[in-house]
Structures are given as C-alpha cells and as structure tokens.
Amino acid sequence: MNYTLPSKLKLFAIILMVLGAVGIGAGFLSAPGSTAEVKEMMAAHGDDHGEASTQSHHTAKDSHGDTAHSASHDASDEQKHLEHTLHQLQNRPWSALYVACFFFFMIALGALAFYAVNFAAQAGWSPVLFRVMEAITAYLVPGGIIMFVLLGLSGFHINHLFVWADPEVVAHDVLLQGKAGWLNGTWMLIRAAIFLGGWITYRHFAVKFSRAGDIAKENDYSNFKKTFRISAGFLVFFLYTESMMSWDWIMSFDPHWFSTLFGWYVLAGMMVCAITTIALITIFLKSQGYLEIVNDSHIHDLAKFMFGFSIFWTYLWFSQFMLIWYANIPEEVTYFMTRIEDFNLPFFGMLAMNFVFPLLLLMNSDYKRVNWFVVLTGIVILVGHYIDIFVMVMPGTVGKSWFIGIPEIGSVLFFLGLFILVVFTALTKAPLLLKNNPFMKESKNYHY
C-alpha cells in the first residue's frame, strides 16, 4: 500500500519551518554587534551579575585608597569581560542552528546504521519496518548538505564556533598548534565530504536495490544479497567515520580536551534517537491506518532497543564521567567542571530524561507494547538527547551566556519541519512493504 502525504501534515511541516526561520532570523538580528550593546542588554535585562560585582569591587578598592590603579585595571577587566560575552552572544544563534542541525542529521544517520545492522544480521523481525527506515534516511541528503555548509562556515572562521579555526587563538596556543595538522578548515571539510559521501552512497544503493526488489520476479533475492553485502562493508566504514565525525563535529568544540570513547558515546545517543524516531513514525503511520501488518511485537522490539540503548548510553556517559572525575587531572576535569557549574540543570536534567525515565517506564515487558507509553517515553528521550547535544556543544561556544530561547527553539522547529517534510515525502515514493526480502514472511508473522 502506498502512503499519501496528507496536506495537513505538509502544511504543518511548512508552518514549523516558517516559524523556525523567523526564530532563527530573530536570533541573528538580536545578537549584539558591539560591546556597548552587550552592556545595554545586561542593564536592560536586570541581569547585572557582572555589573554588581564589579561595582562592589570598586567601592571596596576605593576604601583601600588605590583608586587610580584599580579603576584602570577594572576597566580593562570589564572591557575584556564584555568582549567575551559579546563573542558568546554572537555565537549563540550559530550554535543553536548547529545543535538542531546536527540533532536531526544524527537521527537520519543512526537510522541508516540501524538499517544496515538489520541487513547484516539478517534480522527476521524488522523487514516490515524497512520502508520507514529508508524514509528517515532520506533526510541524510538535505541534512548533510546543511551540515556541510555550517561546517564550512565554522571551519573557515566565518563564525566563531570553532576556536581552533581562529588563527589568532592558534598563534597563542601551543596545544592547538600541535593539533593544527588535523584541526584545520580544509582538512576537516575534506573529511566531512568523505564521511557524507560514503554514507549517502551507501544509502543511495541500499534504497536502489530495495526498490529494484519491488519490481523483480517473485522469490528473486539477488537484490537482498547485494544490500546484505554492501551493508556489511558500510558498517565497517561507518564505525570508523562516525568516530572521527564525532571528534571533528562535536569534540573539537573543546579542542584541548579529548576522550577516547567519545565516538561511542555519540553513537549510543544517535542510535537511541534513531530507533525512537522509527518507533514514533511507525506508531503514527499505524494510527493513520497504514502498516496494518506491523503488530505490537514489532513495537515491543523497538521499545526494547530504546530501553537497551538508553542504558548503553548511560553506561558510556558514566564510564567517561567516572574515570575523569576519579583521576581529577586538571586538563581533563575542566570539561565536566564547566558543565556542572554553568550547565547544572541541563547536564543533570538530561541524565534523568535519558536514563531514569526510560529505565522506569520501559522496564516492564507489558509497557513496551502500550503504544502511548512508547510515544511518551520516546518524546522525553528525544528532548533529552537534544539537551545532550546542547550540553556537548554550548559550553565551548557560548559558555555562561547559554539559554534555551527563541534562537534555539526556532532552530529546532525549522529542522523538525524540514525533517517531517523530507521523511514523509520520501514515504510516499514507494509501497510501505517491500517485496522479495527472504525474511518478509517471518517478519509478517513475527509474534512474541
């Protein structure tokens, strides 16, 4: 059966994109252009944290009698602080855009990896969901192009997202000079092109073979075999490139710091989000009367994966945290210091959303079959993992000046709209059940 895109859904997606674009625009327009504006903003917001402390500082110094010295000293300090805040506030709309762009891109990428895993493992339960997965991976192309453009703008220092892209900073930083061979705009973009090219190529051929299977003769499994082969190859390529991608695109926001399991950590978050999205879209399609062959057991399995990968994500989060916390080495521990001090609520809040919530809600076997339970948990997981990406990126770009406001929400709405539009348009391109997959019968009869 073919899916037809309801005009309401299309309208909804376009409204989201327009609202999001307005939010993004407002974010860029309201970013301050000079330190004077930052000063005004701080005064207007009554957010006189810095001001008040400098003033009390003044009076205290005054009473000590070395007015002239402290005044000039404080003035330059204040100027530095204002410039710092200015850069952070100018980074904010860019970072918001970057986080949202990466978040939705990673869902498509995770779905692609999950699709390949199912082929390589010759999974018998999932073929009825393959068309949903293929549709989600359709976002890889537009999402990847936007991601590439953003990386280009950041890597060549059009915006200030990557400190390592700023030649002035690198000139005074021995560590960054040492890493310049890897962390430079050109080489990063070449890598990004290789990663994206490889992923999109696999996606292109996998979908091509899947479509070819629809029109092939009955019981002609040659297309399945082709996808099986390229899936195995793709997974090897993917695990290397995903790791490097996470260093380049996320970890390099804090270029002094590094963690050897960062790639795994990003992968775990990516997989949870992708599987959650597959579950949500499947449940949505079922509620619209499509995919009638998908039963509670398929949803149960997806929910098991959501539960399992949530625990896996927490395991990696904790492994990274505990070793660094225990060893307490200054250059390592600074990563978590900034997050606990400046991002306390999102940092620990996302831990509750990504671990405690799915743990308690999805632990019971029966609850994994209750669709609204899966939807509820899924939405919390997706929001939680957005915040996870937020907390990975923001400390390195906007620091203390973070806030979830119009630029952030606008960016999320824009990419959500684009994601819905692309994914659901892709769903209409082919029948919702593929043909000539040797495991199709098993999947249709799948019963827990």
Partner 1 sequence: MASKVIHAIYNDDDILMHAVKQTRAAHYHIEEVYTPFPVHGLDKVMGLEPTRIAITSFMYGIVGLCVAITMMNFIMIEDWPQDIGGKPSFSYIENMPAFVPIMFEMTVFFAAHLMVITFYMRSKLWPFKKAENPDVRTTDDHFLMAVDTAHHDIDKMSKFLQDTGAVEISIVESDDDH
- Sole residue written with tokens 């993004």: 24
For residue 217, the 8-state DSSP code is P
Choice between 46 and 330, CB closer to partner 1: 330
Q: Least Å distance between CB 327 and partner 1?
A: 7
Max alpha carbon distance in the chain (Å)?
94
Using rule CB under 8 A, residue 363 touches partner 1: yes
Using rule CB under 8 A, residue 348 touches partner 1: no
Mask for 8-47, x = binds partner 1 (CB under 8 A): ----------------------------------------
Using rule CB under 8 A, residue 326 touches partner 1: yes
Q: Least Å distance between CB 328 and partner 1?
A: 5
- Site size toward partner 1 (CB under 8 A) is 11
Closest among 354, 312, 305, 307 to 118, alpha carbons compared = 305
φ, ψ of residue 2 in degrees (nearest 5): -90, 145
Which long-range CB contacts under 8 A does 41-47 form with residues at least 24 apart?
A: 41/89, 42/85
Q: Report the site for partner 1 in 366-425 (rule: CB under 8 A).
A: none
Choice between 340 and 404, CB closer to partner 1: 340
27 and 410 Cβ atoms separated by less than 8 Å:
yes
Figure out which of the listed residues 59, 76, 186, 328 binds partner 1, where binding follows CB under 8 A.
328
Choice between 314 and 425, CB closer to partner 1: 314
Q: Least Å distance between CB 440 and partner 1?
A: 21
Q: Report the site for partner 1 in 303-322 (rule: CB under 8 A).
A: 318, 321-322
Closest among 41, 13, 21, 143 to 407, alpha carbons compared = 21
Say how far apart CA 67 and CA 59 lie, in whole Å. Answer: 9
Q: Least Å distance between CB 325 and partner 1?
A: 5
Which residues lie closer than 8 Å to 364 by C-beta, 6 or more apart? none
Neighbouring C-beta atoms of residue 301, cutoff 10 Å: 19
Using rule CB under 8 A, residue 330 touches partner 1: no
Using rule CB under 8 A, residue 352 touches partner 1: no
Q: Can you give the binding site for partner 1, defined by CB under 8 A?
A: 318, 321-322, 325-328, 363-365, 447
